[in-house]
Amino acid sequence: MRKTLKILPLMLGIVLFFTQCEKEAIEKGSVETYMELKSDDACSVTQTLWAGAGQNDTLKGTDVGSVTATVVGNTLVVEYAVEAPWYLTETHLWVGKNKYDVPRNAAPGRFPFKANLDFESGWSQVVNLASLGINPGDPIYVAAHGVVVNNEAGEPDYDALDLPIAIDYTWQYFPQLTNPRSYFEITVTSENWLAGLYEGWCADPAFPAGANPRSGVVFSSYDATIFDQFEKPENLPLINWIINYDFVGKPSVAGGNFTLGDVQRAMWVLLWIDPNLNPPGGVGPSSAARVAEILEMAMENGEDFMPGCGEYLVLFIDQDQDNRQNMFIKYPVPCVGGADETVWAYGEYTFNELNIARKWGWVFEVTCY
């Protein structure tokens, strides 16, 4: 299982280089309002991703995320995004220029673009429109299906983590980031289940991180193998509690909001006897009073803490090179036995209306003029 937080580079290019104008779409009775975005060069439609909306009644369903379809030239990019505690396990996508061409019975297994996923929060598919006989200006119709699982409804399955595991990765330091919520942003580049983008933290301020790219071995923070890496390993459960409380941006009794600098310093105090709280590069804005507040809360609430379904496990990256900074990353707890749900992206047309299938689900249009 992995949580990718993936952002397709093409999607970033669209955001940066194409101006989109917005047009409000219609609201049909109890059906969710949707937004259609169009311009001369690119157009995009974002639809709600509904689970369990039987008879196409969204009042019966659960909003689990969205599907965005964007056209740039002869390319269509379809991006699924779901919100915790929901995760994608399957996606099935159909694209065509005639809405009546959806496979009979709207059988997702007959959709041409499909993926089996490992508990993803996002997924993207790039479609060559010319290969489907769709020319610029032609109508484009999309049926987007998926299967999601509620990660809070199952039981933790720590054995599902194939740890320890060797990885290659790169890191970015918080001053390089826009609105950072962690000390590092770490990208695991290895082609394994841990590949993806993660919030990261410094495990030891005594050493520099080293130049990119890096390599190392990943362990669970509850693995006794790594205990000799810290002077106070008994506090690793408190580190997990702090990560799950998600302090950054929340109001502090001591005044102001908690910062990533407050969190990082509190973590160092918990793990080291006399840590350097002002390493080269610093930690950004921080308050000794807020750090003390985090420590007090962690000691009161974090003893024997073990993250469960819907929470996060702190993983430890042991760098392959001596005298280099080891790191933590925040990883969603793998769970089994959660509730599976079928999801469809909302659209203007139902399968019943199109006389394609006697089941709930929709087709939506993305047409560029």
Taking alpha carbons only, the member of 297, 291, 296, 293 closest to residue 278 is 291
Structure tokens at 75: 């390319």
Rounded CA gap, 367 and 275, in Å?
59
- Among 17, 132, 139, 127, which residue's Cα sits nearest to residue 76? 127
Q: Which residue, among 198, 205, 213, 209, has the nearest Cα to 315 in the 3D structure?
A: 198
* Closest to 200 in 3D by CA, of 316, 292, 118: 316
Q: Return the pLDDT at 42.
A: 58
Mean pLDDT of successive 10-residue stretches along the chain, which has 369 residues: 38 35 28 32 86 94 96 94 90 96 93 88 94 93 95 83 96 94 96 94 95 97 97 98 97 97 98 95 95 98 92 95 93 82 96 93 90
> What does the block give as tokens for 119?
């508990």
Please report the DSSP string for 49-76 in residue order: EEES-GGG-GGGSEEEEEEEEEEETTEE
As a whole number of angstroms, the distance between CA 306 and CA 325 comes to: 25
Structure-block tokens of residue 365: 């249009």
Residue 268 has, within 13 A of its CA and on its CB side, a CA count of 23
Which residue, chain included where needed, has tokens 């190392």? Answer: 216
